[in-house]
Amino acid sequence: DETSEHRRNFVTLCRKVFDKGGVAFALASLSSRCPTLRKIAVSICGLFLWALQTKEANELKSWRERPQLAMLMSSVQRGLAVRRALQVQRVERDDCGIDLGGTDAYHHKIPLIPAVSAVFLARATRILSQPNDAMFSQLNRYFLRLSEFHGAFQDFFGLPTILSLYCSSADELSRSR
């Protein structure tokens, strides 16, 4: 089937883009002050998540880290959606005169996230793709524990995992630091 072949090619291309750091770069771009660049970054992340969730990606046996990457990308997608919903809710509550209809530019803005969080997410994609990395188990556990809003990453304005990584005396964490 031609559609299936196109999907397999798309998944293979996404894997290559990921291996070259393209997805990590897109996640890091979420901290850009340029709204157009953030829109492009969210589009790349959305297409990558779609590719991760396809039947063709599931059938690709060599992509063993796919479930962890899908977990991370879903968490980021949900986190951005929650962040945006909270922004819209705050604007509506404060009634600052901004029209939130579909034609208003404010309605379509992608939230700007701090660079430290964007770099953390970019680095997390690289770590979660390497199970032998010293930080793999801690990051995997961190994302598995996210439960609010169906696993949404909401630590955009804090220092992600800082307490669990640096305020513990466990041997495993000491090696990870």
The span from the CA of 170 to the CA of 177, in Å, is 11
Tens digits of residue pLDDT in 20-31: 999 999 999 999
Select, from the ranges 4-13, 75-84, 103-112, 163-172, the one with the highest average predicted confidence (pLDDT).
Answer: 4-13
The span from the CA of 26 to the CA of 67, in Å, is 19
Contact between 68 and 17 (Cβ < 8 Å): no
- The average confidence (pLDDT) of the chain is 78
Tens digits of residue pLDDT in 47-73: 999 999 999 898 888 888 888 888 888
pLDDT of residue 58: 87
The span from the CA of 152 to the CA of 147, in Å, is 7
